[in-house]
Amino acid sequence: MAVNGLEEAGDPAALKRHRTLFRAVKRRRNPPLRRTDITVTDEAAVKRAVKAAALGNAMEWFDFGIYSYLAVTIGHVFFPSGNDTAQLISSFATFAVSFLVRPLGGMFFGPMGDKIGRKKVLALTMILMAIGTFAIGLIPSYATIGFWAPALLILFRLIQGFSTGGEYGGASTFIAEYAPDKRRGFFGSFLEFGTLAGYIGAAGLVTILTALLGDGGMESWGWRVPFLVAGPLGLVGLYLRLRLDETPAFQKLEDESTHSASEAAHVETTAKGDLAKIFRDHWPTLVLCVCLVGAYNVTNYTLLSYMPTYLTDELDYDESHGLLLLIGTMAVLLLVINQVGRLSDRIGRKPLLMAGMLGFLVLSAPAFLLLHQGSVLAVSGGMLLLGFSLVCLLGTMSAALPALFPTDVRYGSLSVGYNLSASLFGGTTPLVVTALISVTGTDMMPAYYAMAAALVGVASVAAMKETARRPLAGSPPAVATDEEAAALVESKAPVPRF
C-alpha cells in the first residue's frame, strides 16, 4: 500500500530510487493478460459453425460450378444461334456480370455484419443465393421468349452476385472467430473443402445428366435440374446457420465489460461497420488483400471453372471425359486440403502461400503443355500439377485473409477487398482467357495469365505478416482448453526480479 501511495502521489525521488519495484507493482496491478481475457472455445460449437459455413460455401460454388460446366449449353439455350464462339463468350460474359455487383454486395453486407452480427447476415445471403439459383432453372429459353431470356438470366445472376458479396467474407470470418488460434488453419480449410465439394457435386451432376440425356436432352430441359436442386440445398444451409450462436469474438466486441479489460483484450468499437473508416484507416491492408485474392482467384477459376471448357473447345476433348478428369483431380485435392490447413498451423501461412504462388509461376506452362498431349495420363498429370499448387492456396487462404483485419471491421474489410478483387480478376478469368485465345490464336494464354497472376501473388505474400498461432487482431486470445488458457496467462506474467 505504501508503494501504491508513493506511486499515486507521483514522488519522483521514490520512483527514481525504486524503478524495478514500481515496474513490478504496475505489472501486478495491470497484468499483460488475465484469465477472463481469454476465450476458451467449445469444440462442438466450433464444428457446428464450420459445418454451417462450409455448406454455404459449397452451395455457392455448386452454383458457379454448374454455370461454368454448362457454359456451352447455356450459350445455346439463352443466346441467338449462329456463331458458337460468340455464344460461348456471351455465356461467360453473363457469368462475369454477377461479379460486377459483388463489390456492391460486399460493401452492403460486410459493414452490416460488423454492425448486427455475422450470423444474421450469413442467413440473409444464403436466402438470396438460393432464390437466384433456383430462379435461373425456371427461365424459358431464347427460342421461347427471345430477348427476355438473357435479360432474366442476367437479372438473377446479379442477385446471385450481390448475395455472394457477403458470403465468403462472412463465412471465413465466422470460422476464424470461432476457431482456437492454434487450429485456425485446420478449421478454416473446411471452408475451401466446401468449395471443392460444391464443384465436385456440380461436375458430377452435370456429367451424370449429360450421360443419361445426351446433348439434346440437356439443351431441352436437363440443364435446369442442377439449378433447381440448389433451392432445397439453400434451405438446409439456412436451417444450419440459424441454429448457430454469434461468434465469440463478436460477442466480446459487443460486451461492454471487455472494453475495460487489459490491453491484451482491448477492442475498438468506434465507427464500427463504417465503410469510410475501412478505406481511410485500412487501405494498405485492403490493397494487399485485393492483390492476394486476385492472384488466388485467377488461378482458382482457371483450374476449377474454366478447365472443362478449355479441354472441350480448344483441345477437342469430349465434354464428359474432361469433367470426369476434373472431378478426379478435385477428389485428390479434397483428400489433402485439411492436412494443408493443419500444416499451415504448424509452419505458418506464408510458406504454404508462397509455395502455391511459385508453383503456378513455374508449373503453369509445363502443365498446359502436358494438357496438349491429349492422353488421359498427360491431361491428368497437367491438372494435378496445377491442383497441388492450388491446394496450397485453398488450404491456407481462408485462415490468412480474416487475420489481416481487426475484429471491428473484419467482415466489412474482407468482404470489400475480396469482392473487389473477385470482380476484377476472378469471374472475368474465363471471359478474358477465351477472348485472349480468340485474339492471339494461341491456346497457351491460360498458362500465361495464371503466371502473371502468380507473380503478383509472390510479391503480395512476401509483403504480408505471418499470423499463424496468434490471436486475431483486435480480439482476445482463443484457446481450446482451460489448461491452455492457464498456461498462456502464466507465460505472459514473468516473475519480477529485484
- The closest of 52, 172, 73, 60 to 113, measured between CA atoms, is 172
Q: What distance in Å separates the CA atoms of residue 416 and residue 170, rounded to the nearest whole number?
A: 11
Write down the pLDDT at residue 149: 87
Angle at 296 between CA 419 and CA 162, to 5 degrees: 20
> Roughly how many angstroms between the first and final C-alpha of the chain, as a whole number?
18
Cell numbers that stand for 146 in this block: 427471345
Hey, how many other C-beta atoms are within 10 angstroms of the C-beta on 223?
24
pLDDT value for 36: 73
Q: How far apart, in whole angstroms, are the C-alpha atoms of residue 122 and residue 110?
A: 10
Q: Which of these, 404, 401, 290, 390, lies nearest to 340 by C-alpha position?
A: 390
Helical ranges in 32-166 per DSSP H: 43-69, 71-78, 84-100, 102-116, 118-136, 142-145, 148-164
b/e per residue 16-48 (b: at least 16 CB within 10 A) = eebeebbebbeeeeebebbeebbbbbeeeebeb
State the greatest distance between any 2 C-alpha atoms of the chain, in Å, as a whole number: 94
Distance of alpha carbon 310 from alpha carbon 83, whole angstroms: 17
**CA–CA separation, 367 and 380 (whole Å):** 10
Report the pLDDT value the prediction gives residue 23, as an integer from 0 to 100.
61
Q: What is the pLDDT of residue 269?
A: 43
pTM of the model as a whole: 0.82
One-letter identity of residue 178: Y
C-alpha cell of 265? 483484450
Q: Cα dihedral sign for 225, 226, 230, 233?
A: positive
For residue 479, the cross-strand partners are 40
Give the three cell numbers for residue 322.
474432361
Q: Nine-digit cell at 283?
A: 487501405
* Rounded Cα–Cα distance for residues 100 and 103 (Å): 7
Binned average pLDDT, 10 residues per bin, the chain of 498 residues: 47 63 56 73 88 83 78 81 72 77 91 87 87 90 86 89 87 91 95 90 88 88 89 82 80 58 40 71 94 93 84 80 87 95 97 97 96 90 95 96 91 92 82 87 92 96 95 86 82 59
271: cell is 465507427
Q: Running DSSP on this structure, what letter comes out for residue 139?
A: P
Residue type, 106: G
DSSP state of 179: S
Neighbouring-strand partners of residue 478: 39
Task: Render 461-484 in DSSP notation, one character per residue.
Answer: HHHSPP-TTSPPTTS--EESSHHH
Q: Which of 248, 203, 165, 192 is nearest to 471 (CA)?
A: 248
